[in-house]
A and B are shown apart, each in its own frame.
Chain A
Amino acid sequence: MLELVEVRHAYDGRVVLDLERFAVPPGAAIAVVGPNGSGKSTLLRLLALLERPSAGRVLLNGAVATPGGAARRRVTLVEQRPILFQTTVRENLEFGLQVRGIRRTEVNRRVENVAARLAITPLLGRRRHELSDGEVQRVAVARALAVEPDVLLLDEPASSADRAAALTLYRALAEERARRPMAVCLASHQLEDAYRWADDVRALADGRLSPVTPENLFRVELKAAESGDLKHACVGTVEIAAMTDKTGPAILAVPPTDIFVSREPLASSARNTFRGRVTGLARRRPDEGAVHVTADVGVELVAVITEEAVRDLALAPGSPVVFSFKASAVRVF
Chain B
Amino acid sequence: MDFLAEGFRRALALLFSGDAEVYGIALLTLRIGVISTVLACGLGIPLGFVLATRPFWGRRAALTVVNTALAFPTVVLGLLLYGVLSRRGPLGAMGWLYTWQAIALGDVLLALPIAAALAAAAVQGVDPRIRRTAETLGAGRWRTAWTVAREARFALAAVITTAFGHVVAEIGSAMTVGGNIRGQTRTLTTAVALYTSQGDFGLALAFGLILLLLALLVNVALQTLQGRGHA
Contact = CB atoms under 8 A, between A and B. Distances in A.
B138 A72 contact: yes
Nearest to A79: B129
Interface stretch (A92-100, A106-114, A180-188, A301-309): A92-100
A77 interface: yes
B139 interface: yes
A8 interface: no
A82 to B, nearest CB: 7
A73 B138 contact: yes
A143 B137 contact: yes
Contacts of B138: 72-73, 76, 96, 99-100, 147
What is the interface of chain A mostly: helix, strand, loop, or mixed? Answer: loop
Contacts of B182: none
Contact of B127 (A50, A83, A144): A83
B129 A48 contact: no
A96 B137 CA distance: 5
Nearest to B130: A83
A79 B135 CA distance: 12
B150 interface: yes
A139 B141 CA distance: 24
A72 B135 contact: yes
A224 B136 CA distance: 46
B74 to A, nearest CB: 36
A85 B135 contact: no
A227 interface: no
Interface in B98-156: 127, 129-130, 132-141, 143, 147, 150-151
A151 to B, nearest CB: 11
B136 A72 contact: yes
A50 B136 contact: yes
Contacts, number: 55
Given A85-B150, A86-B151, A99-B143, A77 B136 contact: yes
Given A83-B130, A85-B130, A99-B143, A50 B135 contact: yes
What is the interface of chain B mostly: helix, strand, loop, or mixed? Answer: helix
Contacts of A147: 137-138
Contact of A76 (B129, B130, B136, B150): B136
A160 to B, nearest CB: 15
A67 interface: yes
A79 B150 contact: no
A102 B143 CA distance: 15
Q: For this complex, into which size category does the number of interface residues on chain A fall? A: 20 to 34
A99 B133 contact: no
Contacts of B150: 85-87
Contacts of B151: 85-86
Given A85-B147, A86-B150, A99-B143, A79 B132 contact: yes
A73 B147 CA distance: 17
A45 B141 CA distance: 18
Contacts of B141: 68
Nearest to A100: B138
Nearest to A143: B137
Contacts of A96: 137-139
A85 B133 contact: yes
Contacts of A86: 150-151
Q: Which has the most chain A C-beta neighbours within 10 Å: B138, B139, B147, B150?
A: B138
Contacts of B133: 79, 82-83, 85
A99 B132 contact: no
Given A85-B147, A85-B150, A86-B150, A76 B132 contact: no
B89 to A, nearest CB: 44
A81 B143 CA distance: 22
A10 B137 CA distance: 25
Contacts of A85: 130, 133-134, 147, 150-151
A81 B128 CA distance: 12
A144 B151 CA distance: 20
A85 B136 CA distance: 13
A60 to B, nearest CB: 14
Given A85-B147, A85-B150, A86-B151, A50 B132 contact: yes
Contacts of A83: 127, 129-130, 133
Contacts of A81: 129
Contacts of A95: 134, 137, 139, 147
Given A86-B151, A100-B138, 14 more contacts: A45-B132, A50-B132, A50-B135, A72-B135, A76-B137, A77-B132, A79-B129, A79-B132, A83-B133, A87-B150, A96-B138, A96-B139, A99-B138, A144-B136
Interface of A: 45, 48, 50, 67-68, 72-73, 75-77, 79, 81-83, 85-87, 95-96, 99-100, 143-144, 147
6 contacts: A50-B135, A68-B141, A76-B137, A81-B129, A83-B133, A143-B137
Closest 7 CB pairs of A and B: A96-B137, A73-B138, A83-B129, A77-B136, A99-B138, A99-B139, A50-B132
